[in-house]
Structure 1
Amino acid sequence: MAAPHYEQQYLDLMQRIWTSGDERVDRTGIGTRAVFGAQLRFDLSDGQIPLLTTKRVYWKTAAREFLWFLTGDTNIRALCAQGVEIWTDWPLDRYRRETGDRIERAAFSARIVADAAFAAQWGDLGPVYGKQWVDWPVYEPAEEAKGLFRKRAQGVNQVAVVVESLRTNPGSRRHIVEGWNVAEVPAMALPPCHKTYQFHVAGDRLSCILYQRSCDVALGLPFNLFGAALFTRMLAQQCDLQPGELVWMGGDTHLYLNHAELVEAQLARVPQGSPRFELVNRPTSIFDYRIEDFAVSGYAPQAHLAAPVAV
């Protein structure tokens, strides 16, 4: 008997949430059905990659977002310039609220790209993911007698620390990249959902656990799975290891009620195929990868399924 397709566990989770999840009003006012505590596991060996086949996942968009995280940038301008609109809705919503201007999303994004001053005023997201990953703020005494502290010009680069620790102390239990900075959460456009990455070395295999405190299963999770697998592969290459396993763990794991059409259509589909991922280049640093360094083959997904993003 053939093993189940790797995507079936995702569909089973979606089915469980949709049929028996707890239904309630959420922060966005749209309403969700949710379960608390979920797990998915994916083998990353031999080029395997957890791309969904029951709908198209725009993996290059997900990869561009992940590379943007690694720059530490928190302004959407660089993303919009690449046609990546994952984060545009949050600044757009703030702009509309504060100005009363009902500008269309495409026009707002175009202005962000064209006008640096406008982007500086309206395109920043606060200290979201990348800022915490590569520049976690550190404070040191300024006037110790007065209890005053000043922020260092450069914070902790957690990603660089993990690369070094994987190379020099692979048996450590502290290979962690954390996004949840309690002190800075209020200043973020959206607090980190995929908040904690922990890496583990067994032999020459590098595995990753991603803990996600809040997960939009229909829209967010397909990107999060690809991003975590990409992160693991990049780290493995930089540290002369082989990709092992991706373990995804969800806290509040939910489907939005206005995603009914997408959910029902996707659950009616059967997963098929097994795409492969390849790193075609090895840059000198994990911070030097480009979209051209990534290749996916054998990916023939079923038709795209769209649904609105809850802001």
Structure 2
Amino acid sequence: MFSPAHYEQPYLDLLRRVWETGNERHDRTGVGTRSLFGATMRFSLADNAVPLLTTKRIAWKTAAREMLWFLTGSTNIRPLVADKVHIWTDWPLDRYRRATGEEIDRDTFEARILTDDAFAEEWGDLGPVYGKQWVDWPRYEAADVPGLYRRGTGHNQIAALVDSLRTNPASRRHIFTGWNVDELDRMALPPCHMTYQFHVSEGKLSGMLWQRSCDLGLGFAFNVFSASLLIAMLAQQCDLEPGELIWSGGDVHVYMNHAHLVEEQLARTPEGAPKLSLLRRPATIFDYGIDDIAVTDYAPQAHIAAPVAV
């Protein structure tokens, strides 16, 4: 009897292919990678399915809190640190160490972020990263002086997307992006998961995520869960059902210091079928909280620790 492959198997196959055949490259972090260019995977989201990796434990609540933070438009790590989310701390911490020469540890740095308003404002800001572009893309209008422009009310791409999905579902313009070329040099990290497009068919909402850069060992698992969560929230807000997530990566890579992660993960067999549920329908997509999100039937294998390249 034919048994379809587990939804995680295409990811494991790609991980093996990148590690065994990828081009070895020097990168901005100095760590080095093995890289392939151009990959695509598809994941069904029907019946509350969610593509959480099962061959290692994924901190899905951390990924969910990050997505909710993006939707606030915040660019400061303080709300994340307050929620015990540390995934963005390394970038401002590295900037602080370079600027001051102080070899402060992460815990001490985060404690100052939480307790010192001025310190948080100066050192906790990441520049106009993801959420700023998503909900407050800069928009300019003519000033009173001919030839001059002033900053107007920012463009909320997410609110516009929800409205478009509700009022013009057949549109081919259900898109938002974080790739603001004029502000890239002010960002702690230019957007990796940079462009999203959505498609409505037969009452179902599908989404495509295009990543210019994907850390296959660490980042990918967060990216696909977050994208699936976003599709679920958008679908609920627009009286649709989640359909499919199509993930596409440009530079898909594995860091050279992740050899142990690759070997251990590829030795494991994926199993299980976790479910993602939204427990409440808030007034807008900006009003979800972590308690509105539930994952069930998730019994992953042990976490595999690996360093983040900054």
Q: TM-score range by the shorter chain?
A: over 0.9
Within a 5 Å distance, the mapping from 1:1-311 to structure 2 comes to: 1-145=2-146, 147-152=147-152, 154-311=153-310
Distance 2:266 2:111 in 1: 36
Distance 2:253 2:111 in 1: 32
Distance 1:255 1:53 in 2: 19
Cα deviation, 1:191-229, whole Å, max 9, x if unaligned, reads: 000000000001101000000000000110000000000
Distance 1:207 1:62 in 2: 20
Cα deviation, 1:18-67, whole Å, max 9, x if unaligned, reads: 00001011111110000000001000000100000000000000000000
What's the TM-score, normalizing by structure 1? 0.99
Deviation of the 1:10 alpha carbon: 0.4
Cα deviation, 1:145-167, whole Å, max 9, x if unaligned, reads: 3x211111x20000000000000
Distance 1:85 1:116 in 2: 18
The amino acid that maps onto 1:76 is I
Distance 1:248 1:113 in 2: 35
Deviation of the 1:144 alpha carbon: 5.0
Distance 2:162 2:196 in 1: 13
Q: Tell me the secondary structure at the aligned position of residue 218 of structure 1.
A: coil
What's the TM-score, normalizing by structure 2? 0.99
Q: Tell me the secondary structure at the aligned position of residue 227 of structure 2.
A: helix
Distance 2:114 2:259 in 1: 34
The amino acid that maps onto 2:173 is R
Distance 1:71 1:109 in 2: 20
Deviation of the 1:143 alpha carbon: 4.4
Distance 2:105 2:208 in 1: 39
Q: Tell me the secondary structure at the aligned position of residue 3 of structure 1.
A: coil
User: Unpaired runs of 5+ in structure 1?
Assistant: none
Cα deviation, 1:75-114, whole Å, max 9, x if unaligned, reads: 0000001000010000000000000110001111111011
Distance 1:5 1:144 in 2: 62
Identity %: 66
The amino acid that maps onto 2:126 is L
The amino acid that maps onto 1:193 is C
The amino acid that maps onto 2:36 is V
Distance 1:27 1:296 in 2: 36
Deviation of the 1:266 alpha carbon: 0.4
Distance 1:284 1:97 in 2: 44
The amino acid that maps onto 1:194 is H
Distance 2:172 2:67 in 1: 24
Deviation of the 1:177 alpha carbon: 1.1
Distance 2:148 2:185 in 1: 22
When the two chains are superposed, the root-mean-square deviation of aligned CA atoms in Å is 0.6
Deviation of the 1:115 alpha carbon: 1.0
The amino acid that maps onto 2:292 is D
Distance 2:257 2:114 in 1: 31
User: Unpaired runs of 5+ in structure 2?
Assistant: none
Deviation of the 1:298 alpha carbon: 0.5
